[in-house]
Amino acid sequence: MALEEYKRKRKFDETPEPPPEIESKAGHRFVVQKHDATRLHYDFRLEMQGVLKSWAVPKGPSLDPGDKRLAMQVEDHPVSYFDFEGIIPEGNYGAGTVMVWDVGTWQPLSPVPVDGKYVPGTEAEAAAMLAKGDLKFRLDGQKLKGDFALVKMKGRRPGSKGTEWLMIKKHDEHEVQGYDIDAYDESVLSHRSLAEIVGDAGSAEWRSRPAGRGKLKAAWLADAVAKLDAKKSGIKPKSKKKA
Ligand code: MN
């Protein structure tokens, strides 16, 4: 089963993360989570084959096609992870703060461009591209938009686990030269910064300042925000920020 490693690494009586359940409905959402763990990184997750295919991107994704961002493939995550924001307590796998940095939908692109442009592809093409280690896709998120590729690195360095990919923005109207990810330290679900998530989980300020539902057109996203609101109203800070 695809979520065994996810399950093996976690203690579900301690972590607020969702249980390892495989989703039967096929969806095309994606999430980028900013994760302040032992080292700050971003987790890029694509809903595919009933799970979230996941990569840890140390510097985060970029809209600049000149950036080739190292992306370490990690264990598949359950689909319900896509709206997980909060604090993983110390002593648990991935302990630290998680922000939902971006969410949206994605579509596979056909591996062969037509007249120099990428065009939408099929599920079968996406599965084949993933297996081959050259996955092309189009994102429609709040922050990330346009065409991207995840390319598995072939040259194995000594000690390499074979999990190294590169995430690269393709040239299109959404590219941004010199993209600076640090300029966007805000949750798309709660509009909090990482520091605010650490400091005010469950605080009165947070309860009185629910995320801007008016701006959320997608029903599934509005659901996620409503769920987060409900969860947050009962949450007590479980842990101080990990050093
Ligand atoms: Mn992570």
C-alpha 208 – ligand 1 centre gap (Å):
29
What mean pLDDT comes out for the span 161-165? 89
C-alpha 164 – ligand 1 centre gap (Å):
15
Question: Is pLDDT of 239 > 90?
Answer: no
C-alpha 38 – ligand 1 centre gap (Å):
9
C-alpha 2 – ligand 1 centre gap (Å):
18
What mean pLDDT comes out for the span 70-93? 94
C-alpha 77 – ligand 1 centre gap (Å):
11
Question: Is pLDDT of 210 > 90?
Answer: no
Torsional class of 130: left (φ above 0), alpha (ψ -120 to 50), beta (otherwise): alpha
pLDDT at residue number 116: 85
164 beta partners: 72
C-alpha 175 – ligand 1 centre gap (Å):
25
Q: Say how far apart CA 63 and CA 7 lie, in whole Å.
A: 33
C-alpha 94 – ligand 1 centre gap (Å):
6
pLDDT at residue number 199: 84
The percent of residues in the chain predicted with pLDDT above 90, rounded, is 70
Question: Is pLDDT of 84 > 90?
Answer: yes
pLDDT at residue number 231: 65
C-alpha 35 – ligand 1 centre gap (Å):
5
pLDDT at residue number 175: 98
C-alpha 116 – ligand 1 centre gap (Å):
35
C-alpha 98 – ligand 1 centre gap (Å):
8
Question: Is pLDDT of 2 > 90?
Answer: no
Q: Say how far apart CA 70 and CA 153 lie, in whole Å.
A: 9
pLDDT at residue number 154: 83
C-alpha 115 – ligand 1 centre gap (Å):
38
C-alpha 119 – ligand 1 centre gap (Å):
31
228 band by pLDDT with thresholds 50, 70 and 90: low
What mean pLDDT comes out for the span 205-233? 57
Mean pLDDT of the chain: 86
Residue-by-residue DSSP string for the chain: -TTHHHHHH--TTT--SPP-----S---EEEEEEEESSSEEEEEEEEETTEEEEEEETT---S-TT-EEEEEEEEEE-GGGGG--EEEPTTSTT-EEEEEEEEEEEEEB-SS-BTTB--B--HHHHHHHHHHTEEEEEEEESS-EEEEEEEE--SPPTT--S-EEEEEEPSSTT--TT--GGG----TTT---HHHHHHHTT-HHHHTS---GGG--SHHHHHHHHHHHHHHHH----SPPP-
C-alpha 112 – ligand 1 centre gap (Å):
32
What mean pLDDT comes out for the span 140-165? 88
C-alpha 113 – ligand 1 centre gap (Å):
33
Q: Is the separation of the CB atoms in 32 and 61 below 8 Å?
A: yes
C-alpha 117 – ligand 1 centre gap (Å):
33
Question: Is pLDDT of 220 > 90?
Answer: no
For 36-72, the pLDDT digits (tens) are 999 999 999 999 999 999 999 999 999 999 999 999 9
C-alpha 148 – ligand 1 centre gap (Å):
21
